[in-house]
Amino acid sequence: MLFWGAVITAIVLFSRTVGTGNRRYDAGGHGPGIAEHLLAERFARGEIDESEYTARLNVLRHRA
C-alpha cells in the first residue's frame, strides 16, 4: 500500500512539473508567456481592438 502511494505521488508531482513549465518560464520575466497568450485570446474574441492589443503587447514585451 505504501509503495503504490509513493508511485501515485511521484506521478502527480511529475505531471504538475511538466504541466507548469510555461508558467515558471513566464514567472521569471523572460520570453513570451501566459500573459501574451491571454492577451491574444482576448483580441481573438473581440474583447479588445487592434490598437489596444498592440499597446498592451508592447507593454508586456518591454516591461522591466
> pLDDT tens track of the chain, all 64 residues?
888 888 888 888 777 777 655 454 445 555 567 888 899 999 999 999 999 999 998 988 887 4
Closest among 30, 27, 29, 47 to 38, alpha carbons compared: 47
pLDDT of res. 40: 92
> How far, rounded to the nearest angstrom, does the alpha carbon of residue 60 sit from its chain's CA centroid?
13
State the residue for C-alpha cell 490598437.
51
User: pTM for this one?
Assistant: 0.48
Task: Quote the number of domains for the chain.
Answer: 1
The reported pLDDT for the residue numbered 21 is 53
- Per the structure, the complete domain to which residue 53 belongs is given by 2-61
